[in-house]
Structure formats: structure tokens, C-alpha cells
């Protein structure tokens, strides 16, 4: 679908806001990448660590709120 010349240069308010934000803070994208790496990008666990984690889990009883009498 082809728009007329009138709409080819249209930019929404959100796009204009993001462009002005990036102009004011040029290292914004880099800091976002660093933040993501800090919170989400994790090193893979080796097999020994996975086995130790699996072996150290305590099985939960079927009815958690019932006391053992």
C-alpha cells in the first residue's frame, strides 16, 4: 500500500519523543544493553553445579499446611 506524499514524512509523537531522548542522551542504548546483561544474560551452569542443585532440593510434602501429627 502506497501512501500519498503527505504521509511519507509523518512521524508519531512517540517516535519524535524517542529521537529527542536519544539526542539528549547518546549513550542510552549502551546503558540499556548493560542493564539487560546485568539482569538477564547469565553464564550457563556446568553439569556438576546442575547435579548438586538437583540433589540438594528438599521434597515438599503433599499438603503443605497440614502439620505432621
CA neighbor of 55 nearest in space, from 65, 43, 47, 63: 47
Q: What's the pLDDT tens digit per position in 15-66? A: 999 999 999 999 999 999 999 988 888 888 899 999 999 999 988 888 878 7
pTM score over 0.75? no
- Cα dihedral sign for 9, 10, 16, 18? negative
Residues 69/61, Cβ–Cβ less than 8 Å: no
30-57 in b/e form (b: 16+ CB < 10 A) is eeeeeeeeeeeeeeeeeeeeeeeeeeee
Amino acid at each position: 500500500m502506497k501512501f500519498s506524499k503527505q504521509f511519507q514524512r509523518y512521524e508519531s509523537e512517540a517516535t519524535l519523543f524517542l529521537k529527542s531522548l536519544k539526542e539528549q542522551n547518546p549513550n542510552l542504548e549502551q546503558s540499556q544493553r548493560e542493564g539487560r546483561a546485568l539482569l538477564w544474560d547469565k553464564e550457563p551452569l556446568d553439569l556438576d553445579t546442575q547435579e548438586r542443585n538437583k540433589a540438594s532440593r528438599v521434597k515438599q510434602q503433599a499438603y503443605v499446611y497440614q502439620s505432621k501429627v
